[in-house]
Structure 1
Amino acid sequence: MNPSSDDTMHTLLIRPKAGRLLFSLLCSLLFTLPAHAQEADTARVKELQGVEVVGRHVTGKLRHDSLGGMSLDLSFLDDMPRIAGNADPIRYTQLLPSVQTSSELDAGLYVQGCDNAHNGVSINGVQLYDIQHILGIFSVFNPSHYSRLQFAGSAFTASAANRLGGFIDMQRPDTLAGRVKGELSVGLISSQGTLRLPLGGKSELILSGRGAYINLLYGRWLKVEESAIRYSFCDANVTWLYRPDARNTLWLDFYGGNDRMDYQEDGENYDARLGWGNRMVSMNWEWKRRGLTLRQTAYMTRYGNRFSIERPDFRLRMPSGITDYGYRLSLRRGRWTAGTDWTLHSIRPQQPETEGERQTTTLSATRRHSTEGSLWADCRFAVARNMELLGGLRANVYTIRRSAFFSADPVLSLLWTSGYGQFRLTANVKHQYLFRTGLSAVNLPTDFWLPADERLRPQYAYGLSAEYRTDLIPGRLQLSAGLYYKRLCHQTEYIGTPFELIYGDYDYRKNLISGKGENYGLDLMIEKRTGRLTGWMSYSLGRALRRYPGRFSGTFPAGHERIHEFNAVATWKAGRRWSFGATLVWAGGTPFTPPSYFYLQNGNLLSQFGDYNSGRLSTYIRLDVSATCRIKVHGGRESGLNFSVYNANCRHNDLFWRLKFNNGQYYYAPLRPLPKKLPFLPSINYYIKF
């Protein structure tokens, strides 16, 4: 077995003595086949006593494919630390190489230096927007509803959607349940559950739900700098799977979720309310015959948010949202894959409505409609011994109003497998026709989506990457290393301030500037894949630089850049009942723009800021630990307790710096989301599986 080949569930080793016997038997068969005239009494018969085959079971849950993607078995989360009682798949994706750690209130993924809005995040291939609960502490994905998470740091095939960054897809179970199965987890702030119901021998219904009751137990302590927060969320998943025969599979997917938050600022006498949520429904059909696979999907996905601020003399509302209607078809036969994607975008940009003493503005809810279509094809073939070439082309057409944009996005990957490991070189071009922007520096849902148009040109990127993977110890310890470079064009930055929403004639288009970007870096990872102790360690060195001529002088780092980052993930099976998990993040601080000076004038706080993103937050360090006790395991049923501590090292990590005026005092200081008296978050969950 080639040590650098793709992952298998077992690594087979043949003992030397048994191997010699097996080799002798094969040689005897080969040399005696043509000897038809041989006398029967001269034939020699060798009796093989036995062959001992030893299987080394791969217990690690991370799998690599030859194209550079990764697959994470979500059963891995059972033994991992849980944030507020939830082991979130997106949070653990942030611990993979090339993915940058986010702050406590940011569920975004910053892959190979790209912005969070550059990623494609989907359920069985259908896009979702702004996938965060509790302002980013964890995502909308209930892991018990899915079987695995598929991740790619860049577009390695032409079938990848029109995005500049990475791709994350939550995938359904492949097999039908033979009996009723379920899982229930009860925590201190939320509970969640999944039920798999067989409907005869050819169909299955999967139901999942999750709800929060944070204020019921933590209402007195749920505060940010002594300001009260009221928060709740819920989400639901429904998947119906029907397999009438071996050739056909049909399934329906539904997801719906909502978040609501109220924030009351002490001393400022105002109330902020924020609500957001996703809806997604898709119909899917897959047909297979004689090596040909046809797959079709029709879908609708929607995201919207509602943000408002109320004071005694002022009221502000800022709704926004995006709705997609789409169709996708793909054909796969042998080394060829081809398909088409078509999407209608209906976008409501942020349009503030104000009422107050200074002014009253009421704007009509204008929607912007655009169409995005693609034809694509991939082909994979051998060019030499142990060498393969994957070539693909994606042709795009995008229309809005009377404007149309055309592009051709090629991708080319060269894969070479040798006794030293597996090498892969990839070059690609990608276009993206949607933008996300707003006032938030930490990817809050108050940001909004915009379509490309004749003024806001479509963004695109040139990418080049090189990766190497090998087994340091076959089947046990694996090393991977990667280099990447991306050149980004038509990047946008929002330069407006909250004061314009209140006092000025607001137009978001006046506050958008366009420029260029450059991302490059190095990623290293060592993964232990067998034994009671499994996990990985990774280190990333990367830069994400931006340049906006005419607005900011020179080149500056993107707001999400962390130059250095070290991650460690480990699980340990201590026995039949106990298992332990831990994660460690040690990363450099992200940039921010510090003020040069600030002062009070007529009761208003005025400030003058310095060079853009010239300051940096302090180093980010966080240790999470967990212990899982299996109380009862019998006949396919299991119950137990999970104890977790988030930020067990009790470090106050900076979220961002801000100016604040309160009770006649003003100051500039970092905002740290965890309470001073309780800088860690303990949680306990009781779970049942049957």
Structure 2
Amino acid sequence: MAVLPGLPAAAQLPPIVDTVSRSVIVERVYNKPMVINSKGISGTVNTDKIAAVPSFLGNADPIRFVRLLPSVQMNTEIEAGIYMQGSEHSHTLVSQAGVPIYGVSHLLGLFSVFNTSHYQGMQYSTTSRQETRMGGMVNMELPDTVAKHWGGDFSLGLLNAQGTLDIPLGASSLKVSARRTYVNLLYGSILKYADFPIRYGFTDANVTWTWKPGRRDKIWADFFACLDDGRVSGATIKTLNARWYNALGAVHWNHYFPEATMKQSAYASTYGMKAEIDAFNIYGQMPSFIRDYGYRNTVQWKDWEFGARYSYYDIQPQNPSSRGHIQDSGLTGNVPRQNAMEAVLSAQYSRILGYWLQLKAGIGLNWYLSPEKRHYWGLTPEVELVADAESAGKFTLRYGLKRQNLFQVGLTNTGLPVEFWLPAGDLQAPQWSHNFSLAYNADFFENAWSVSAELYYKQLYNQLEFIGNIYEIYNGDYHLENSVLRGHGRAYGFNLMLQRNKGPLTGWISYSYAPSLRTFDAMDGFRDGAEYSSAHERLHELDVVATYDFGKWDVGGSLIVASGLPYTRPETFYLVANRLVCSYGKYNGERLPTYVRMDLSANWYIRKTPKGKTGLNLSIYNVMGIKNAVSYGIHINDDLKSYSFRPFDMTLGILPSIAFFHTF
């Protein structure tokens, strides 16, 4: 687990700061809520509260925290994606100081790549504004001020060790964080997927240098990297090795004019993986990567905000190769690398129309150059009308036309590292969508309670959904263009959240209703115009989160009850000349059982002062011991002569954990 170092008092802020950052800091210091929603299910997270919310084996995790919010549909053991309001997880922009990160999870989605203590805060929204993503956003905020004193924190648990150190350097400061897991030492014998034991480890590190050369400038550079190494073995799968990585480097410069603020960043961000599998006497590899080199600039002047963004993509789509087929027709790994570019110019105007009404309107001009050297142009208008009725609450009506030039598909469709990115082009034209929403926010009883609600509707165009399977690689007949469905879609629903903000008891109860439907081309048995559930559709989800502060103790609990995900059931399957042949029923016509999980945690503070904390974290993951099915698949029995179709579950059972933490 991680505990954040104390935030600086508002009075210590320099005289010239970014007004948005100042308001976020002041809210974080003086408000008790875990979540501060401002427009529907969008706002900021009080990151010093994350440690009190149960997570996997006591490891404080901002991404798993976000998955407890009502706008996010997925929260299972192996789910690494953030599906907001029926969109694909690739539609959600996950970033660090505005720089995109393309792989956000460790260990099958059980951990995120973010070391909580390194970050000042977290912002989330169901819309990504003028970014080239069609869904929401989650942004991790880096330190805003120069550290004046040494400080930091560290924790040591049964699962991992991690630490953060603040180093003052006069007009600048350095923040260094690192984390290393040793999950195999104690949990290796019980960590299984579909009865196959998992061997796993990861390392990640963050370095942020902040410099304020004068009253009107702030310059900072940050570096982030992580490396994962996993291995699964069993009777039918001899070995499955996967290694994947993230790396990011960025330089940021903010300049504060008397009446304007300019923010600019230059960055490089990369994500890649290499999987090797040995099964059925067949050996295969599945490498892929994405590299993003970009620049962004925003200028805020009075009621205006102007933006410019550019990205150059170097992408290797999944490039499988295999050998060992009876027919000696293995894959040769000849999928070429692809390069693409995109740029956006945008402007937004905000105007107060009266005592209680505010209008925001913006327009963006998008340009995209595909790998085939085709040019795509498009406008991205958006408008937002806010009506603040004070004690009666605030209403926000929003419309936006979104465009996106990147897809993410893969064998699992669950955000695991065997998913890969690819640019729009011959396979599918760029995506776009119409997004409508109506949000309501209100505080009651002197802000002790709050209600957040949001109705939404999205019409999605040029969608891809992956229907391939690992057996195509076994058989040597994998072709990406034959393994995807092309079509359109729509998503609609509502999110409701009742939150307790003040007092020793804080938390929320939330409910989501989120149909997500797709219509595919009339091919391969699909009826033209018929709608099918998307692979990540979760119709109903109930989340309960609560923490109670006893002073020397604080305790937390979370409960998730959600309808099962859809899947396609095979009607027949058999082996012909060592090739597995399957005949499937209706696409996504079946559903997994209801998902239920409860987690508990407690922090005991041996020392708790304004200068630091020392204590123990106790946590119990899956306290009810329910083995939730995460997918269905074909099981080939140990004798290699009989087969069955049954659920795969992540065999975790009840997992207790203890960790020591110290901040100074």
Common fold by TM > 0.5: yes
Q: Does 1:508 align with 2:508?
A: no
Residues 87-125 of structure 1: CA deviation (Å, up to 9, x unaligned): 211111011121113321112111010011111000000
The equivalent position to 1:557 in structure 2, one of 521, 533, 546, is 533
Cα gap change, 1:225 to 1:98, in 2 (>3 Å): closer
Residue 636 of structure 1: aligned partner: 611
Cα gap change, 1:670 to 1:108, in 2 (>3 Å): same
Residue 247 of structure 2: aligned partner: 279
Residues 634-684 of structure 1: CA deviation (Å, up to 9, x unaligned): 561321000011111221211111111111331111111125xxx111111
The equivalent position to 1:653 in structure 2, one of 619, 625, 628, is 628
Q: Which amino acid is the alignment partner of residue 333 of structure 2?
A: L
Q: For residue 380 of structure 2, give the secondary structure of its aligned residue in structure 1.
A: strand
- Contact 1:541–1:563 (Cα < 8 Å) also in 2: yes
Cα gap change, 1:154 to 1:531, in 2 (>3 Å): same
Q: For residues 209 and 612 of structure 2, what CA distance do their matches in structure 1 show?
A: 24
Q: For residues 604 and 341 of structure 1, what CA distance do their matches in structure 2 show?
A: 48
Q: Does 1:307 align with 2:280?
A: no
Cα gap change, 1:313 to 1:468, in 2 (>3 Å): closer
By how many angstroms is 1:559 displaced? 1.1
Q: For residues 242 and 506 of structure 1, what CA distance do their matches in structure 2 show?
A: 51
Q: For residues 621 and 552 of structure 2, what CA distance do their matches in structure 1 show?
A: 23
Cα gap change, 1:684 to 1:370, in 2 (>3 Å): same
Q: Which amino acid is the alignment partner of residue 642 of structure 2?
A: Q
The equivalent position to 1:103 in structure 2, one of 76, 85, 88, is 76
Equivalent residue runs for 1:411-560 within 5 Å = 411-419=382-390, 420-551=392-523, 552-553=526-527, 554-560=530-536
Q: For residue 251 of structure 1, give the secondary structure of its aligned residue in structure 2.
A: strand
Q: For residue 78 of structure 1, give the secondary structure of its aligned residue in structure 2.
A: helix
Cα gap change, 1:365 to 1:511, in 2 (>3 Å): closer
Residue 239 of structure 1: aligned partner: 208
The equivalent position to 2:101 in structure 1, one of 128, 152, 160, is 128
Residue 265 of structure 1: aligned partner: 234
Residue 12 of structure 2: aligned partner: none
Residue 22 of structure 1: aligned partner: none
- Contact 1:107–1:137 (Cα < 8 Å) also in 2: yes
Q: For residue 265 of structure 1, give the secondary structure of its aligned residue in structure 2.
A: coil
Residue 169 of structure 2: aligned partner: 199
Q: For residue 672 of structure 1, give the secondary structure of its aligned residue in structure 2.
A: strand
Residue 625 of structure 1: aligned partner: 600
By how many angstroms is 1:312 displaced? 7.9
- Contact 1:85–1:188 (Cα < 8 Å) also in 2: no
- Contact 1:488–1:518 (Cα < 8 Å) also in 2: yes
By how many angstroms is 1:285 displaced? 0.4
Cα gap change, 1:66 to 1:230, in 2 (>3 Å): closer
The equivalent position to 2:284 in structure 1, one of 311, 316, 331, is 316
- Contact 1:82–1:683 (Cα < 8 Å) also in 2: no
Cα gap change, 1:569 to 1:624, in 2 (>3 Å): same
Structure 1 residues 212-221 or 108-117, which shifts more? 212-221
By how many angstroms is 1:293 displaced? 0.4
Q: Does 1:342 align with 2:318?
A: no
Residues 315-366 of structure 1: CA deviation (Å, up to 9, x unaligned): 2111000001101111001211001000000000111122225324433462
Residue 78 of structure 1: aligned partner: 51
State the TM-score, normalizing by the size of structure 2.
0.92
Q: For residues 387 and 185 of structure 1, what CA distance do their matches in structure 2 show?
A: 48
Cα gap change, 1:499 to 1:130, in 2 (>3 Å): same
- Contact 1:592–1:616 (Cα < 8 Å) also in 2: yes
Q: For residues 433 and 646 of structure 1, what CA distance do their matches in structure 2 show?
A: 38
Residue 331 of structure 1: aligned partner: 299
Q: For residue 56 of structure 2, give the secondary structure of its aligned residue in structure 1.
A: coil
Q: For residues 7 and 238 of structure 1, what CA distance do their matches in structure 2 show?
A: 23
The equivalent position to 1:408 in structure 2, one of 359, 379, 399, is 379
- Contact 1:284–1:297 (Cα < 8 Å) also in 2: yes
By how many angstroms is 1:127 displaced? 0.3
Q: For residues 331 and 389 of structure 2, what CA distance do their matches in structure 1 show?
A: 67
Equivalent residue runs for 1:103-252 within 5 Å = 103-155=76-128, 157=129, 160-200=130-170, 202-252=171-221
- Contact 1:203–1:243 (Cα < 8 Å) also in 2: yes
Q: For residues 499 and 255 of structure 2, what CA distance do their matches in structure 1 show?
A: 37
Q: For residue 158 of structure 2, give the secondary structure of its aligned residue in structure 1.
A: coil
Residue 388 of structure 1: aligned partner: 358
By how many angstroms is 1:216 displaced? 2.4
By how many angstroms is 1:568 displaced? 1.2
Q: For residues 517 and 184 of structure 2, what CA distance do their matches in structure 1 show?
A: 41
Residues 173-198 of structure 1: CA deviation (Å, up to 9, x unaligned): 22222211111011112111110111
Q: Which amino acid is the alignment partner of residue 458 of structure 1?
A: P
Residues 41-83 of structure 1: CA deviation (Å, up to 9, x unaligned): xxxxxxxxxxxxxxx9631132233586310021112222131
Structure 2: which 5+ runs fail to align? 1-22
The equivalent position to 2:656 in structure 1, one of 658, 682, 690, is 682
Cα gap change, 1:625 to 1:279, in 2 (>3 Å): same
Residues 547-576 of structure 1: CA deviation (Å, up to 9, x unaligned): 1021323211111111111111111001x2
Q: For residues 224 and 312 of structure 1, what CA distance do their matches in structure 2 show?
A: 19
State the TM-score, normalizing by the size of structure 1.
0.88
By how many angstroms is 1:166 displaced? 0.8
Equivalent residue runs for 1:558-597 within 5 Å = 558-574=534-550, 576-597=551-572
Residues 125-184 of structure 1: CA deviation (Å, up to 9, x unaligned): 0001121101111110000000111000113x4xx3111111010001222222111110
By how many angstroms is 1:503 displaced? 2.1
Q: For residue 50 of structure 2, give the secondary structure of its aligned residue in structure 1.
A: helix
- Contact 2:475–2:580 (Cα < 8 Å) also in 1: no
Residue 585 of structure 2: aligned partner: 610
By how many angstroms is 1:497 displaced? 2.7
Q: For residue 305 of structure 2, give the secondary structure of its aligned residue in structure 1.
A: strand
- Contact 2:237–2:277 (Cα < 8 Å) also in 1: no
By how many angstroms is 1:8 displaced? 10
Cα gap change, 1:634 to 1:538, in 2 (>3 Å): closer
Q: Which amino acid is the alignment partner of residue 368 of structure 1?
A: Q
Cα gap change, 1:227 to 1:256, in 2 (>3 Å): same
Residue 15 of structure 2: aligned partner: none
- Contact 1:85–1:190 (Cα < 8 Å) also in 2: no
- Contact 2:616–2:658 (Cα < 8 Å) also in 1: yes
Q: For residues 41 and 516 of structure 2, what CA distance do their matches in structure 1 show?
A: 21
Q: For residues 447 and 192 of structure 1, what CA distance do their matches in structure 2 show?
A: 28
Q: Which amino acid is the alignment partner of residue 261 of structure 1?
A: G
Q: Which amino acid is the alignment partner of residue 658 of structure 2?
A: I
Q: Which amino acid is the alignment partner of residue 97 of structure 2?
A: N
Q: Which amino acid is the alignment partner of residue 573 of structure 1?
A: D
Q: For residue 384 of structure 1, give the secondary structure of its aligned residue in structure 2.
A: coil
Residues 396-444 of structure 1: CA deviation (Å, up to 9, x unaligned): 0000232000000000000011131111100000000000111113221
Residue 5 of structure 2: aligned partner: none
Residue 10 of structure 2: aligned partner: none
Q: For residues 602 and 365 of structure 1, what CA distance do their matches in structure 2 show?
A: 27
- Contact 1:227–1:265 (Cα < 8 Å) also in 2: yes
Structure 1 residues 607-616 or 80-89, which shifts more? 80-89
Structure 1: which 5+ runs fail to align? 1-5, 11-55
- Contact 1:83–1:683 (Cα < 8 Å) also in 2: no
Residue 343 of structure 2: aligned partner: 373
Q: For residues 220 and 544 of structure 1, what CA distance do their matches in structure 2 show?
A: 38
By how many angstroms is 1:314 displaced? 2.6
- Contact 1:57–1:530 (Cα < 8 Å) also in 2: no
- Contact 2:163–2:178 (Cα < 8 Å) also in 1: yes
Percent identical pairs in the alignment equals 35
- Contact 2:39–2:439 (Cα < 8 Å) also in 1: no
Count of matched residue positions in the alignment of Structure 1 and Structure 2? 632
By how many angstroms is 1:9 displaced? 6.5
Q: Which amino acid is the alignment partner of residue 133 of structure 1?
A: H
Structure 1 residues 347-356 or 539-548, which shifts more? 347-356
Q: For residues 392 and 376 of structure 1, what CA distance do their matches in structure 2 show?
A: 7
- Contact 2:308–2:343 (Cα < 8 Å) also in 1: yes
